[in-house]
Structure 1
Amino acid sequence: MSAGKSVDAALASLRAAIGSLESAVDARFEREKDHSEIEGEVRRVHADRSRLAQELDQSEFRANRLEEVNREVSRRLVTAMETIRAVLDR
């Protein structure tokens, strides 16, 4: 093989290696981009979960408070009905 053909073959090999390297770098950047997008989505999901958990806690507190108020109203109605019955029975 002549020196010219050896240089041409070496240059072709080098071009192929550089092409492979560029493809690998592009693929790596794409994976990093995808990974970053996934991390962002996970952060959004966690933020939504935290917000929903807080809203659930608040809703449960309101529901418990409404139950307490309902029991108090019921107790007062019973007392009022008993008072009315007592007055009517006289």
Structure 2
Amino acid sequence: MVTDRTAVALSALRQAISGLENAIDMRLEAQRSNSEVEHEVRRVHADRERLAQELDQSQFRANRLEEVNREVSRRLVTAMETIRAVLDR
């Protein structure tokens, strides 16, 4: 025979178990969310590293083009001076 005290205790136990199950579900969801965030952070870091590498390569190419441009400009000046010297004779 179930007494009132037993019924109250069983009800409290059911509520505690239900609360524990809810807490576990929330914890699992939080872990899934954390895992997704961590994955996104890793992806962003990988993208950042790739973009930094591409930027370095682009900067290297820009510097190299600038050097080549200066050399071409120097050669054009030399060629123009040579042409003027020939025409002045």
Q: TM-score range by the shorter chain?
A: over 0.9
- Report the identity percentage: 71
- TM-score, structure 2 as length reference: 0.95
Residue of structure 2 equivalent to 1:55: 54
Residue 33 (structure 2) pairs with residue 21 (structure 1): no
Residue of structure 1 equivalent to 2:71: 72
Tell me how far 1:84 sits from its aligned partner: 0.2
Which SS does the other structure have where 2:3 is aligned?
Answer: helix
Residue of structure 2 equivalent to 1:30: 29
Tell me how far 1:36 sits from its aligned partner: 0.6
Query: How many residues are treated as equivalent by the alignment?
Result: 89
Residue of structure 2 equivalent to 1:84: 83
Letter paired with 1:33: R
Structure 2: 5+ residue stretches without partners: none
Letter paired with 1:8: A
Over 2 Å off, 4+ runs: none
Structure 1: 5+ residue stretches without partners: none
- TM-score, structure 1 as length reference: 0.94
CA RMSD of aligned residues (A): 1.2
Residue of structure 2 equivalent to 1:11: 10
Tell me how far 1:3 sits from its aligned partner: 5.3
Letter paired with 2:63: N
Please give the alpha-carbon distance, in whole angstroms, between the structure 2 residues aligned to 1:19 and 1:40.
Answer: 31
